[in-house]
Structure 1
Amino acid sequence: MPGAAQEPPVVPDAPTARRWAVDELARPEYHVQRSLLGRLLDWLTEQFDRVQQGVQVDGRVAALVIAVAVLLALAVAWWVAGPVRRGSASASRAVLAEDDVRTAAQMRAAADAAAARGDWTLAVVERFRSVVRDLEERAVLDERPGRTAHEATLEAGTRLAGVATALDAGGRLFDDVAYGGRAATDRDDAALRELAAQVAAARRMAATRSSSAPAVPR
């Protein structure tokens, strides 16, 4: 209510602040940088002990030191955990799961079946997967489960430069539909059918150029 006295912010005492910091830094995502965070935790523990033992330390100064130390610990921990969170997010956006052993033809059949019953979202997802699996079967890409759409299209685009832009667009469509919550349409499925045809033509053209290249004299 206007004019009502506001309660002062809660400032933890030294034991509470130390417990908060220890609990936060003990979370699993921070263990990838345990050496750095371990040293930080040791330093914070030492500072908290000094505050507890310092009989001549002003209470307000001690509270300020504790609050700053806790905020610093949380900030460093958040910064260290960032790559872990991003890495986990990246892994969850894979095109092909490790246990998916289907062939490109089987994935195309699944896409066609989904399209026939109007499930355009599944049709788009399976059709893009079939494109990536086909590139693996044709040795344009190495077999690597967990590869993201961006990684697949970027790598394939360097080998099939003529369809690099189309591959990138297809990868973005896959991410939007599979992980971005976008509802696919029949036009999206048609776009990926066209992508598959373009990739097949570019692959055949690259193979023809490779086979017709003159032998280098030794």
Structure 2
Amino acid sequence: MAVSDVPVDLGRDEAREAAARELADPAYVSDDPNPLERALDWVLDRLGELFAGAGGVSGITAVTVLVVVAVVIVVVVRLRTGRTTRSRRASGEVFGSAVRTAAEHRAAAERAAAEGELAEAVRERFRAVVRELEQRGVLDARAGRTVDEVAAEAGRALPDLAGDLRSAAVQFDDVWYGGRPATGEGYRRLVSVDDRVRG
């Protein structure tokens, strides 16, 4: 548009529309703070008002308030991530997509243990226990069963083994979903549970 095409006399409505069109340009919006920045600014403004309203707040008081706020934030974050980890652990399935017999899971566990892969040995031995319970009719064969469900259902059917089954489930959970290292002693306890289930 040539300079001569620009109207010199703009009415109130025309000027408002022209300004609205200009300000709608994305170049003006890109520097707006995001919601997180606005929330942080709001919190900092409230803290500033708190300190200003308290008159002569000492440096120690200000630091104490900031430390308390930081501790609360850390606690909330830890509780939230802990809850997420627990729910992820509780939903962990026992079996993958492959279908094996209890004997095949036992053999895989022994191979893994011999190679020093104790986490895999724990997983395969627990799978052997579950498959054995299914083959014996103690548990119905069901896809998607969690370790907690195995321990609860099998423990009701075999009350003498309920504690052992619960310990085995906790060990499986801790190693595979809790990130704890598997140990030789833990694996031997699992072998003992498996032997008792077979006996």
Structure 1 length-normalised TM: 0.51
**Using the alignment, how far apart are the partners of 2:157 and 2:187 within structure 1?**
24
How many residues align structurally? 120
**Contact residue 90 and residue 148 of structure 1 kept, 8 A:** no
Structure-2 residue corresponding to 1:104? 102
**Aligned residues of 2:122 and 2:172 also touching (Cα < 8 A):** yes
CA displacement 1:67-125 (0-9 Å, x = unmatched)? xxxxxxxxxxxxxxxxxx79x7367501113x221111111111000011111111011
Q: Which residue is 2:155 aligned to?
A: 157
Residues 1:9 and 2:9 aligned together: no
Structure 2 unaligned blocks of 5 or more: 1-39, 44-83
What is the CA–CA distance in structure 2 between the aligned matches of 1:156 and 1:112, rounded to whole Å? 24
Paired residues for 1:114-125 under 5 Å? 114-125=112-123
CA distance in 2, matches of 1:194, 1:173: 13
Gaps of 5+ in 1: 1-6, 11-84, 202-218
Q: Give me the whole-angstrom Cα distance separating, in 2, the residues matched to 1:179 and 1:129.
A: 15
Q: Is the 8 A contact 1:91 1:146 kept in 2?
A: no
Task: Go from structure 1 to structure 2 and tell me whether the alpha carbon gap of 1:171 and 1:9 turns closer, same or farther (over 3 Å shift).
Answer: same
**Quick one: which of 168, 175, 193 aligns to 1:177?**
175
Q: TM-score, normalised by structure 2?
A: 0.56
The aligned residue for residue 148 of structure 1 is 146
Code of the aligned partner of 2:99: V
Q: Could you say if the C-alpha distance between residues 174 and 91 of structure 1 is closer, same or farther in structure 2, counting changes exceeding 3 Å?
A: closer
Identity among equivalent positions (%) equals 47
CA RMSD of aligned residues (A): 2.3
What residue number does 2:94 align with? 95
Q: Is the 2:88–2:177 Cα contact (8 Å) retained in structure 1?
A: no
Which structure 2 residues correspond to residues 54-69 of structure 1 after superposition, within 5 A? none
Q: Distance in 1 between matches of 2:90 and 2:167?
A: 20
Shift of 1:146: 1.1
